[in-house]
Structure 1
Amino acid sequence: ILVQWQPPPLATQNGQIVGYKLRYRKTARKTETFEILVDNQLSQLITGLEKNTEYSFRVVAMTVNGSGPATDWVAADTFENDLDESRVPDMPSSLHVRPLVTNIVVSWTPPENQHQVVVRGYAIGYGLGSPHAQTVRVDHKQRYYTIENLEPSSHYVISLKAFNNMGEGIPLYESAVTRQHTDTSEVDVYVVHASYTPVPEPSPMLPPVGVQATILGSDTVRLTWADNSLPKNQKITDARYYTARWKTNIPANTKYKMANSTTLSYLVSGLKPNTLYEFSVMVTKGRRSSTWSMTAHGTTFESVPSSPPKDVTVVSKEGKPRTIIVNWQPPSEANGKITGYIIYYSTDVHAELHDWVIEPVVGNRLTHQIQELTLDTPYYFKIQARNSKGMGPMSEAVLFRTPKGKQS
Structure 2
Amino acid sequence: SERTLQAKPSAPPQDVKCRSTSSTSLLVSWGPPPLESQNGDLTGFRVRYQVVGPSEGAGDNMEPMEEPMVLPNEERVLLQRLEKWTQYSITVSASTAVGMGPESEPLVCRTDEDVPGASPRRVEVEVLNSTALKVMWRSVIPGKQNGQIRGYQVHYVRVENGESRGLPLIKDVMLADAQEMVIGGLKPDTTYSITVAAYTTKGDGTRSKPKVVVTKGAVPGPPYLSVVQNSKSSATVHWDPPDLTNGMDLQGYRLQFGRKDVSPLATLEFAPQERQYSVGNIHRGATYLFKISAKSRGGFGEEAVAELTIPENSPGGYPQMNEGSNITCCSVQLSWSPPVLAERNGVITEYTLAYKEAGAGGSPLELRLPPNLSSFVLNSLKPNSAYDVKIRAHTSIGPGPYSPPIQYRTVAIDPADVPKNFTV
Flag whether TM exceeds 0.5 (same fold): no
TM-score, scaled to structure 1: 0.43
Higher Rg? 2
